Chains A and B, each alone.
Chain A
Amino acid sequence: MIPALCALVLAAADAAPAASAPQRLRGDVIVLQAAEVHVGDGTVFKPGLVIVQDGKLVAAGQSMPLPAGANVIDCGSATITPGLVDAACQLGTSALFGAAEQGSEVIPQLDMWDALDLYSRDFEQLVADGVTTVFVTGEASSVISAKGAALKTGGPIADRRLPAKPIVKLTLGPESSGRGASNRGPSRFGGVSYSTRRPTTRMGSAWVFRKAMHDSIAFRDAGRASNEDLEPDAMRALADVLAGKTALRVQAREALDFFTAVKLADEFGLSFSYEYATEAAQCLDLLAARKIPVIFGPVRSSDSIFEGFEGAMPALETPRLLAAKGIHFCLTASDGSGEGGLGRQAGLAIRFGLDRAQALRSVTSDPAQMVGLDGRVGRLVPGLDADLVVWNGAPFDDTAKPVLVLIQGRPVLDLQGKFRKENS
C-alpha cells in the first residue's frame, strides 16, 4: 500500500504550484499532521497525515515524503477523522414554509432539495458538530414522502448538492397518521389539517401506501390514471420504486410498524431500509434474517426513563446489539444538533458498548454507503472528497469536539485559526 501512496504523493507534488505561489486553497497542496488519523474503515495511522489537493484527498498514511511547496498544518495531539455523514438528517429545511406538504399523502414526485434553506443556521451547527454531508430525508407527515436530497453542509452554495441515490420514505405510525410534528392543526380559516386529511390510524397509513402502489401498477400497465386523484407524476415516481430505480426507506418507531413494513414490502416485492428504528432492539432476528439496513436514532435526552414518544424508547445498547447481529446499520441525529448531534449519538453508542472503530464507521462510511455516496465521502482514502474533522481529543468523547473542519479541502470551521495563521 505504501508504494502506491508514494506514487500518488509524487503525482501531487508534480501538480503542485511553486512554493512561492500565493496561498490559495484550490490547487494548493495541504498537508495535515496529527497524532492519529482514522481512515474510517478501521485503519488508524499513529501518527498520521493526510494530503489534500483540489478539494480531494490525495493520500493518508503514517509518514511519507511531503510534496514540495505543501502548506503543512500541524494539528499536534489531535485526531483526524472523515467528516461525519448523516443519512437521515431532518435539519436545514426552510423554517416557515418548509417540508411538510399538506396537499397530498403521496408526494414521491417532489424533491426535498426544494424545501432546503441553504443559508439556514442549521448548517453552521452541523459543521460545528463535524457533520459535513447530510442526506435530508423525506418529511414524515406524508405517508409517502418526497425524495430525499444529499448535500454538503458548508462551502460554496453552487458546490453543495450531491448526487445521492433516489430514496423515498414510507412513514408508518403516528407521524403520518395523526398529529405529527409538522401536520397542520385545524385552522379557524379552514383548509386542510391533520383532522380533515390524514389517515387517522396505522391501518390508514398502510392502506394509503398499498393503494398508491396499486394505482401506480395500474397506471404503469394501462398507461392511464385510475379514477383517483393521485397525480400522474406521483404514479410515475412510484413505478420507479416498484422497478427498484428508487430505493424505499421506512420510518417507524414502534416494532409493530416495522412488522407492518415487512408485510407491505413483501406484498410488492420491495426491499427497504429502516429509519428511526426506535425499537430495533426488539426486531433483531428479523432484521438480521432479512438483511434490512438500519438507520438508528436519534436517542434524545428527552427519551429518558421518564417519558417516551408513544411509550417507544430507544434501547441504549441498540447499536451494540445491531453490530453483534451483523446487521448493516448507521446512526442518525435526525433533527438533533449540538449536545444531541451525530457525534454525541456515536458517543452514547460507545458508552453503551459499541466498539469505537465501529462507532466511527456508523457515522461516516456506513451512512455514506447507504445513500450511495461512498464513492464521494465517508472515508479518508485517495480520490474521495477532502471532508475531514480534526478533534481536540478522542472522537465522540464528551470531552472532545471538532476544532477544524474541511469540506472539499476548504476550512469551514477553524476554532484555533490554523488556516488563518497559515495564510497570514
Chain B
Amino acid sequence: MLAIPLIAALSIASGPPASAPPRQPAPVAIRVDGVVQTDGAIGPGGWIIVRNGRIESIGTAAPPPGAATFEFVGGIACAGMVDVATQLGAPGQFSEPSRAFTPDVAAADAFEPDHSSFLAAARSGVTTVALTPGSDNIVGGRLALIRTRDDHDRAAQFVGPGPLRFTWSDAAFPEDRLPSSRMGAMARLRELLANDTAKTAGASLVSAQTSDQIRTALDAFTASNRPLALLQPFHAEEALALLPGRAQGVVVGPFNLDTAERETRLPKQLADLAVAVAFTANGDGAALRLTAAIAVRSGLDPKSARLGLTSVPARLLGIDGDAGTLEPGKRADLVIYGGDPLDLAVSIQMVLVGGGAVAKKETP
C-alpha cells in the first residue's frame, strides 16, 4: 500500500474532496514585485493567480473577477520551503536501535497530524517536510512525506512514503550489535539494495561523515543504480571530488553563527563542483533561512542558496513535479517575503499551503 505513486497520492489529496465542498471556491490573486524563478534568480513580479489550490498563472493575467486579492509592495514570492530531514511532531520517536537493518520501519507510523510543530513550520514558510528515522541503524527505515497543513488548514497531512534513510557513520555501529565490521555491513547492504524493490521517487538519504564513509556509500549505491543524497558529510573534503555525477545532492544544516567555517563553506565547495545543496533545520523556516544566509556569507551564490531551500530538497524527495518551484500547474505552496528570502531582515508576509493562507499580515 505504500507503493502508491507519489504524484497520484498528491493529486488525490489536492483534488476536490468528494465529501466536503471546496474550501476555497474563489480564486486568489496576489500581487508581488518579484518572483523567485526556477533557476533561483529573482525575476519580475506581477499577479499570481491561484485557483483550486494550484498556481494558474504568474505575471501573465489580471485578477479574475471575484478573486480575493492581496497586494504586497516590495514583496517577493517564493516556493514554500522543503526540509528533507526533520523529526517534527514526534521528537524522540524515531530512534529504533534494536537492529542494524530496519528497512520496514516507516516514519509515517510515528506521525501525529495535530502536533503544533507543523503549524509552526507552516507559519515559518515550510510547506513540506519529510519525517526521517533516526541515525541508530545502518538502514533506519522509510521517510514520511508530510504537508505541513491540509486543505482545510486543520492539521498536517501525510502524502506518501519517501525514500529510505541510511546511516553509514559510526553512530550505526554500536558495540552491542552485529554486524560489527564494515565489510559485514557492506555485504548486507549490497544484498538489501539488490533486493529492495519498493519503487519510491527521490534519493536515499545517507548520513556519512568521513571521506571513506562517503566513498564506500557511493560505491554501494552506484553499483546498484540507486540515487542517493548525502546528509551532513562534514570532515570529508578529500571525498568531495567523488560526488559529481554520483550523488543527487547533499543536505547540510542547520548552521548558526557558531558553526565552524569548515562546515559553512561546504555548500560553496559543492556548488563549485556542480553538486546540488539542500538545507535542513528540522522544519524551522527561520533557521533554514539563516542556514542559507550563512552559506551565502561563506561564498555560496544566492541563486543556489534559494534553490537549496526549495527545489533541491523537493527533487531529493521526489516531489519536484508538484512542489519546490513556482510554476503554473504546480501546487500553490508559496511564501510571500517582504524582500529577498535570504535577507534576514525581511519578514514573511503571507504563506499559502495548497492555496490556503495559513499566515498572513495585513495587506498594506
Binding site for B on A (CB under 8 A): 94, 96-103, 107, 109-120, 139, 146, 157, 184, 187, 189-192, 233
Contact = CB atoms under 8 A, between A and B. Distances in A.
B182 A97 contact: yes
Contact of A101 (B174, B175, B184): B184
Name which of B173, B179, B180, B242 has the most chain A CB atoms within 10 A of its CB.
Answer: B180
A189 B177 CA distance: 9
A115 B187 CA distance: 11
A230 to B, nearest CB: 14
B166 to A, nearest CB: 14
A184 B170 contact: no
12 contacts: A96-B173, A97-B181, A97-B182, A98-B181, A102-B179, A110-B186, A114-B216, A115-B181, A116-B212, A117-B210, A118-B211, A139-B181
B265 interface: no
B184 A107 contact: yes
Given A101-B180, A110-B181, 20 more contacts: A94-B182, A96-B173, A97-B180, A97-B181, A102-B179, A103-B178, A103-B180, A107-B183, A107-B184, A116-B212, A117-B210, A117-B212, A118-B211, A119-B238, A120-B212, A146-B183, A187-B176, A189-B174, A192-B178, A233-B187
A97 B174 CA distance: 9
B15 to A, nearest CB: 48
Given A114-B186, A119-B211, A103 B175 contact: no
Contacts of A191: 175-178
Interface in B113-168: none
Contacts of A101: 179-181, 183-184
Contacts of A146: 183
A103 B179 CA distance: 6
Which residue, A97, A109, A118, has most C-beta atoms of chain B within 10 A? Answer: A97
Size category, B interface: 20 to 34
A190 to B, nearest CB: 5
Interface of B: 170, 173-187, 210-212, 215-216, 238-239, 242
Contact of B212 (A99, A118, A190): A118
A222 to B, nearest CB: 24
B174 A114 contact: no
Nearest to B168: A97
Among B176, B239, B242: residue with most chain A CB under 10 A? B176
Which of A107, A110, A187 has the largest number of chain B CB atoms within 10 A? A110
Nearest to A190: B176
B181 A100 contact: yes
Nearest to B173: A97
B183 A115 contact: yes
Contacts of A100: 180-181
Contact of B215 (A115, A118, A184): A118
A119 B214 CA distance: 11
A11 to B, nearest CB: 34
A97 B185 contact: yes
B216 to A, nearest CB: 7
Contact of A114 (B170, B182, B211): B182
